[in-house]
Each structure stands twice: as C-alpha cells, then as structure tokens.
Structure 1
Amino acid sequence: MFSYEQVQRLNDLELGVYHYVLKNKERVTTMKIRTLAEEVHVSTTTILNFCHKMDCAGYAEFKVRLHLLIENENDEAVPDDTALMLTFFEKINTPKFKEQIELSARYIAEASEIYIYGVGGSGILGQYAARYFSNFNLYATHISDPFYPVPKKVGKKAIVLVLSVTGETGMVLEQANQYKQNGFNVLSITTSADSTLAKLSDIAISYYVPIELKKSLQNITTQVPVIHIIETLARMAYTLKTKV
C-alpha cells in the first residue's frame, strides 16, 4: 500500500487525505469515514475515491490494510549481527580466502588504472574504497553512475573492482560485462561465489554473509565484511607495490 504508482493516481484533494493518513496512521484505523472527511475537510466521496486508488474495495478494507501495515512496521525487529561478524572472521581465516585476497591485491598493485564501481549502498562503499586506496598511492576512480561511459582505451593491466551485495543487479552486471569487453580485469566483492557477478569476474571475493531484507524490501545486509576486505586489499597492495 502507498506505492509510487498508487500515489501517482491521486488528485489534489486525495493527496490531502494521503498526507493526513501518513501522519496519523493509528488514529485513522479507529476513525469513521465521516470523521476522517471532516478532519481533512473533504467529502466522504473523496475518501472512498482515495481508498479505491489504494486498491481497496472500500473504507473498511482500507482500515484493515492500514492496521496490518502498522503491525508489520512494528514487527520489523533488527537482529544483532555480532554473531555474523564472528562467523565471517572465522571463514576468512582460511588458505583459500587468503589466496584470493593476495591475488586480488597483486592485480591492484600492478594495475595501470583502477576503477571502482558500485550503485546504491555499494556506491557509497566504492567512494570510500577509492579514497582509501588513494591514501596508499593506489589512485582509484570511483563510479556510481550506471550510465557512465566505460573507457575504451586502457592499459593491459587496467582493473575495475565491482561491489555488489547480491551480485545479481542488472545494471551492475551490464556494466561489469562492458568493462570486461573493453579489456579490464574484473575483480568483484559480493556475498556469494555462485552469483552471476562472481562468475563473470576474473577474481571474485565472496564473504558469505546472509542477505537481510526488511519487509519493506530495504537491504540491511551488514557491510562490515566489505570494508574489512577493502582495507585489507589496500594495505596488501601497497606492501606488494613498495617491494617491487
């Protein structure tokens, strides 16, 4: 309920109802239709039209669905992810994971150009990664625009580090594939080695943390592992580069 498509259908009077309901959800669940109409200074017909545009048969159904929406919002408990972090640090203490990190760091240390790509929350982490790499004289360009042109003329050792929680976001996969076609070595950090992004990458670092989605479909998957991997890569790449 209250999706973008539904709100887009509303006229000015119905938008007034919408704004009032959002600010007074719990009160509205107990209100009679006439009371709500008086509060918003509209007719009961406007209230009914609003309900229909919210895909409800009438005011009674609207109140039931509003009540369920409130219950769902209250039930969205956010779990403590300390146990996940401990499990992650146990998993990375393996020869295979260390080998992936070292190989990725070597690519970064020897890179002629470094690009870091991600959108949404991963884009913010990409910005942090570019700055952190640059602090170690590993100058990196951060790109979060999915429509930004992919460079065509690059050195043989150009790399792009792609960040994605699921490894299945369409626009990210399209860009990663374009980078690969243009001669970049593709490195990725994602939750699963079975993801499409991991499979098309030259090197994929997977941190195997469960993807967490709230009922509102917001992704709240912890990104602590990604930050740890980014910082480890930067430090190791710097060490390798200064030894050359």
Structure 2
Amino acid sequence: MFTNEEIASFNALEASLYNYISQNSEKVAYMRIRELADETHVSTATILRFCRKNNCDGFSEFKVKLKLHLEKDKTTVVKPGQHSITEFFERTLTGNIDEKIHQAVSIVAKAETVIFIGIGSSGILAEYGARYFSSLGKFSMYIKDPLFPIRTQLLNNSATIALSVSGESNYTITHINQLKQEGSKIISITNSKHSTIATISDVNIPYYVTQERYENSDITTQVPVVYILETLARELYKRND
C-alpha cells in the first residue's frame, strides 16, 4: 500500500496519519475526510496532501485504493504444503533434472573451493547447503551478506552454487558477476530457467513451483531446493567414494 519512498517523504503530521491508517485500515476505508481529520487531529488539507503523496487525486481515490488493498489481502490463499510438493514432482522430476544434477556434480567435483550464495530465505538455504556438503566430505562456505567483498585468488578453481527463487536478485547477480570474473564456475538453483541468474550460469537447475506471496513476504516453498541440494551432495559423495 505504501512504498518506502512514500513513507520517507512524510513529515511529522503525515507520519502520524500514516500510523493511524496502518492500524485502522478497515475503519478508515469507510470514513469521511472530516471524521479522519477529527480522529487524527490533523487538518483536511494535511490529509489531501498525504493522499497526493500516495499518488491519489483526493481522499475518495485513496479510500478506493485502500479498499482494493484490503480486498487483495483477504483473497490471498495459502496453499497446503502437499500441493507444492506434488507440483514439484509433476513438473520437475519428470524432466531432465538428473542430467542437470550430473552436470553440476562434475563441476563441483573438480573444484577446490565451493561457495554457496543467496539472500533472505535463499541465504539460509545457502548456509544449510554449505553445511550439508561439508558433512559429506566437500568442505564448503556460504555468503548471505549482500555487501560481502569478493576478491581472492582462491576462486580461480572454484564452484559457486547460487540460490534464488525469482532468479532476479540484484545482490546475487552482482555476486555472480564478481565470482565469474575471478574464475568461478556458476551453478544456479532457481524457480525458472528463464531468469537472469539462470541465463548467466554455467549450469541451471530449475524446479518450477508456483511462486506465492503473503502480504510483502515471499512464501514460495523451499522444499525443492532442499531436495536438489541434498541430491547434489549425495551424488558428489558417491562419485568421490
């Protein structure tokens, strides 16, 4: 409903108005402008200025926008877990995922250094992947800090496993470009093979599940990523053994 840029532009009165609306959205959607002014102890002029900062010509348009936002939240349906797993099995495991995994394992097996990268929930899985690989004998590191400096000769013979649901994370793309310049081979695990990260990778393993969002959070299942990471590690162990 409100962007970071809009919130940053609010003065003290507009900020108090924003706080009231955020906590009383259902009520505000059916208020008159004078009622809102009385409740928040600001002038109607302040409310109109607030509406214009949020790209609305007036309070009536702002209320329409607010009602649409509330209606969207109500219609969000969180699918049961088994739906996502079934989708993964039907769309991905019937394809050429085994071939992609073998290609990735060949790259990792030759690498002296293995680095996992990701941001947000993908960063958490990057940490998990590095630990799982290390547990099966292939020492690995992870980077989930978007500002982590990457400049070292250790990357000349390395493999990077990049995790991203959308495949469009700017921070991860920046890291991949830096790692490629240092000589690292890139393996990406994304939700689609048509993303930027998939395109610039040496090997991409897509898993194709429906992306889901709840309010401002990405709640797309990460079970396929765990499956792929563990399969990669186990296949690598079998090859080395």
How high is the TM-score relative to the length of structure 2? 0.86
103-112 or 156-165: which moved more? 103-112
State the SS of the aligned residue for 1:231. Answer: helix
Cα distance change, pair 150–53 in 1 and its aligned pair in 2 (3 A): same
Cα distance change, pair 220–155 in 1 and its aligned pair in 2 (3 A): closer
Q: Which residue of 2 aligns with 1:4?
A: 4
In 2, the alpha carbon distance for the partners of 1:227 and 1:119 equals 16
Q: Which residue of 1 aligns with 2:166?
A: 166
Cα distance change, pair 55–89 in 1 and its aligned pair in 2 (3 A): closer
Q: Give how far 1:172 is off.
A: 2.3
Render the CA deviation track for 1:84-129: whole Å, top value 9, x for unaligned.
4224224554583223223323433443111111122211211121
Query: Does the aligned pair in 2 maintain the 1:106–1:240 contact within 8 Å?
Result: no
Q: Which residue of 2 aligns with 1:40?
A: 40
State the SS of the aligned residue for 1:154. Answer: helix
Q: Which residue of 2 aligns with 1:220?
A: 219
State the SS of the aligned residue for 1:142. Answer: strand
Q: Give how far 1:218 is off.
A: 4.3
Q: Which residue of 2 aligns with 1:205?
A: 205
Which residue identity does 1:75 align to in structure 2?
A: T
In 2, the alpha carbon distance for the partners of 1:167 and 1:3 equals 23
50-59 or 5-14: which moved more? 50-59
Cα distance change, pair 189–138 in 1 and its aligned pair in 2 (3 A): same
Q: Which residue of 2 aligns with 1:231?
A: 230
State the SS of the aligned residue for 1:30. Answer: coil
Q: Which residue of 1 aligns with 2:129?
A: 129
Once the two structures are aligned, what percentage of the paired residues are identical? 41
In 2, the alpha carbon distance for the partners of 1:65 and 1:92 equals 39
Q: Which residue of 2 aligns with 1:27?
A: 27
Specify every segment of 5 or more residues in structure 2 that has no aligned partner in the other structure, as ranges. Answer: none
Specify every segment of 5 or more residues in structure 1 that has no aligned partner in the other structure, as ranges. Answer: none
Q: Which residue of 2 aligns with 1:82?
A: 82
Render the CA deviation track for 1:12-45: whole Å, top value 9, x for unaligned.
1121111111111111122222222222222333
How high is the TM-score relative to the length of structure 1? 0.86
Q: How many aligned positions are there?
A: 241
Could you say what the CA RMSD is over the residues aligned between the two structures, in angstroms? 2.5
